[in-house]
Amino acid sequence: MYLILVYDIQTDDEDGARVARTVFKTCKAYLNHIQKSVFEGELSKVQYLELKNKLFDILRKEKDSCIIFKSRNEKWLDKEFLVEESIDKTSNFI
Amino acid sequence: MYLILVYDIQTDDEDGARVARTVFKTCKAYLNHIQKSVFEGELSKVQYLELKNKLFDILRKEKDSCIIFKSRNEKWLDKEFLVEESIDKTSNFI
């Protein structure tokens, strides 16, 4: 299945920066990074459940948010960059 | 057509905050706000082109980015909130 994952981490508190880095690295292990907190890619059901469980353990209930859009087929979705994004600018976490 | 719109505005410079507010209000006039910089909704072709042109005039080429995912039908997309988002927290721009 094809996924678009978008997250929003509250970083104005003590462990916010650490949570954001961990969420970024976890997503990057499964999906392609296309914009600051936006990932996309094709995952099997098993990989998808794995990623979800890992993110459940990191994300903080009342502070962070994460939305996943799933489509059975990438062909059913067109993607348009309104303003060109220089891709290296998006990989700011090592 | 059904749209998911995600933007990333560089706000560490002089007019970043103004651009972010203007982009937010422009998107909110056409789409539903579901997460900090994420909007979704059903638009006609004319509305879509209108929104795009307005955003073109606001977004700054080398600083900001905006990605739009289009699907001919909302049914082809499942949406999952990994962590519940208290919706009022997202409307922080008046």
What is the value of ipTM here, to two decimals? 0.77
Q: Look at residues A52, A65, A58, A66 and name the one whose alpha carbon lies nearest to residue A1.
A: A52
Mean pLDDT of chain B: 87
Q: CB–CB of B55 and A82 under 8 A?
A: yes
- At B74-93, the pLDDT tens digits run 788 888 998 765 444 444 44
CA distance A90 to chain B (A): 10
Q: CB–CB of B80 and A71 under 8 A?
A: no
Q: CB–CB of A64 and B80 under 8 A?
A: no
Q: Are strands A2-8 and A32-35 parallel, antiparallel or unpaired?
A: unpaired
CA distance A36 to chain B (A): 7
B78 vs A: CB within 8 A: yes
- At A8-57, the pLDDT tens digits run 999 888 899 999 999 999 999 999 999 889 999 999 999 999 999 999 99
Give the 3-state secondary structure of A1-54.
CEEEEEEECCCCCCCHHHHHHHHHHHHHCCCEEEECCEEEEECCHHHHHHHHHH
- Segment B51-78 mean pLDDT: 90
Domain A2-74, classified CATH 1.20.120.1750, yes or no: no
Predicted pLDDT of residue A62: 84
Name which of A38, A64, A65 is nearest B6 (Cβ-Cβ): A38
DSSP-derived letter for residue B66 is E
Predicted pLDDT of residue A83: 80
Q: Please report, rounded to a whole number, the percentage of residues in chain B having pLDDT higher than 70.
A: 88
Predicted pLDDT of residue B84: 60
Predicted pLDDT of residue A68: 93
Predicted pLDDT of residue A90: 47
A53 vs B: CB within 8 A: no
Predicted pLDDT of residue B89: 46
Q: Which CATH architecture has domain B2-75?
A: 2-Layer Sandwich (3.30)
B81 vs A: CB within 8 A: yes
Predicted pLDDT of residue A87: 46
- Six token digits for residue B83: 């962590």
Per-domain boundaries in chain B? 2-75
Q: CB–CB of A83 and B59 under 8 A?
A: yes
Predicted pLDDT of residue B75: 81
- Band (pLDDT 50/70/90 cuts) for residue A91 is very low
Q: Chains A, B: CB contacts under 8 A, how many?
A: 112
- Six token digits for residue B45: 């072709």
Please give the annotated binding residues of B for Mg(2+), written as ranges: 8
- At B11-30, the pLDDT tens digits run 888 899 999 999 999 999 99
